[in-house]
Structure 1
Amino acid sequence: MFKIILNKSAIFIPKILSIVITDIHIGIEKEYGINIVANINKMVENILEIKNSTKAENLIILGDVKHEILKKEKYINYFFDKIENSFDKIIVCKGNHDALIEKHIKFKNIKIKGARGFVIKNIGFFHGHANPSISVKKCRKIFLGHFQPAIKIGEKIEKCFLISRKFVILPSFNPITGYFNVREVNLPSFMKKTKLKFKIYLLNGTLLEEDLYL
């Protein structure tokens, strides 16, 4: 139904010819003393490499396109200007950092969806900070971001995907951020009705022997 794109913090869903990424956090580079445009160019390059290798037609971004709630509009449009002609559709599901983003994106073929998510061919998508819609909850498979999972391997902290029977939690697509301990993930209330078992996949595709129960 979907496949992990190795070493790219992305998913490809053949059924809908879509790349799925999350948590780009444009503007956070400033906090690390990193050039914003240079890092955007790196992310754009990765997106276009994935498109070329998968023949994807659409791009789905599961929220937090920007880092600061009301700033960095010029960098957001710089990012979309680099990729919008490469896809038939670009869909952005609003994250908790994306207030008013619909007022600042100037491209008509970029669709903004609310924080409660959306459904495409019985596949649900939402950011993860808000309670999803009933239609999203009913889907057999749901993709979300927000939690930016990572796990300690030896002395290193590595990003990872968390995958259960119903849910797929993606790591941050921005290479400089998103290293939050998977054991401290606080799932949305609707996901806590029963304890969920997640498989942990590193970005290189390695499946860890240890399951994670949340």
Structure 2
Amino acid sequence: MGRPAVDPVPGAPAATLDLSDERALAVADYHAGIEVGLRYERGVELDSNADVRRRRLLRLLSRTDADRVVVLGDLVHRIAEPDGVEAEEVRDLLDALDQRGVPLTLATGNHDGGVADVFPDRIEMLPTEGARIGDVGLVHGHTWPGAEVLSASTLCMGHEHPSVRLTDEVGGSRVERAWLRGPLLREPFEDALGDEAAELAWQDPELVVFPAFNERSGGTWINVEGESFLAPFLPEALASGEAYLTDGTRLGPYREV
């Protein structure tokens, strides 16, 4: 048997991807410079974790021996052209990857509008509707995926930052980042694709929703009543998905956790 298309790294919000001729390390929602954003958005003062984030990613790269890094959207935090400490964090990450000869591919997210202008030759940018590499579709998830992405056998996305609230026997609770995985339903995409829907090479793909790499970015609590999803096609397109913790613990159907 060949390698799985998506293989989560145990204990980490990351996975390796089989992209035919390459093995990639994939993460979602890196949110470089988030501390500056939290200061202006919420008045929260936090020391920068830029070095910690970079070292975590580089350790995962060494651990997986991947040929490429794929970020499934929101490499940066501000919804504007990155500058200052945000741009510096991205530049330091790219410099570290260059030293290892590892390129970075970014599936453009809703926070990434200015990334291509600041780093025009250093990042491979995928369009907002995503792209297919080998038999894996890559998309951030804030817009409807294109027909090319939906023709893959596996679709990887970020954007949701899925999390679960777990309660113990004495009433204590904690929030954990989680994976969502399950069969993707075709029907929600037919209206969005319009004329392209008839030409869609549908393979009954598996959808894999990545947990956020940045632990400070919050998320969608998938098991809290009344919590709404961010992607325009969720939860309708993932009716029977299951949730997993980053340590591999299977929580069962995500609507019943």
TM-score by length of 1: 0.88
Q: Which moved more, 1:153-162 or 1:72-81?
A: 72-81
Please tell me whether Structure 1 or Structure 2 has the larger radius of gyration of its CA atoms: 2
What's the CA shift for 1:139?
1.0
For residue 159 of structure 1, what is the aligned residue in structure 2? 177
Do residues 28 (structure 1) and 34 (structure 2) align?
yes
For residue 98 of structure 1, what is the aligned residue in structure 2? 112
For residue 11 of structure 1, what is the aligned residue in structure 2? 15
* 2:25/2:61 contact within 8 Å kept: yes
* 2:33/2:50 contact within 8 Å kept: no
For residue 218 of structure 2, what is the aligned residue in structure 1? 178
For residue 89 of structure 1, what is the aligned residue in structure 2? 103
* 2:94/2:122 contact within 8 Å kept: no
Do residues 75 (structure 1) and 95 (structure 2) align?
no
Do residues 53 (structure 1) and 63 (structure 2) align?
yes
Do residues 62 (structure 1) and 76 (structure 2) align?
no
C-alpha separation in 2, matches of 1:125 and 1:99: 17
C-alpha separation in 2, matches of 1:9 and 1:123: 18
Deviations along 1:53-77, one digit per CA (max 9) or x if unpaired, are 2111111001111111224323322
C-alpha separation in 2, matches of 1:194 and 1:146: 15
Deviations along 1:134-187, one digit per CA (max 9) or x if unpaired, are 100111100000000000011001000001131000011012223321143536
Change (3 A) 1:189 1:65: closer
For residue 151 of structure 2, what is the aligned residue in structure 1? 138
* 2:73/2:158 contact within 8 Å kept: yes
Aligned-residue identity in percent: 22
TM-score by length of 2: 0.74
Amino acid at match of 2:126: K
What's the CA shift for 1:189?
4.5
Structure 2 gap ranges (5+): 39-43, 168-172, 184-205
Do residues 121 (structure 1) and 134 (structure 2) align?
yes
C-alpha separation in 2, matches of 1:112 and 1:195: 27
* 1:92/1:113 contact within 8 Å kept: yes
Amino acid at match of 2:54: V
Q: Which moved more, 1:10-19 or 1:56-65?
A: 10-19
C-alpha separation in 1, matches of 2:249 and 2:238: 24
Structure 1 gap ranges (5+): none
Amino acid at match of 2:79: I
- Give the match's secondary structure for 1:42: helix
Do residues 205 (structure 1) and 215 (structure 2) align?
no
C-alpha RMSD of matched pairs (Å):
2.1
Q: Which moved more, 1:112-121 or 1:85-94?
A: 85-94
What's the CA shift for 1:188?
4.1
C-alpha separation in 2, matches of 1:22 and 1:135: 20
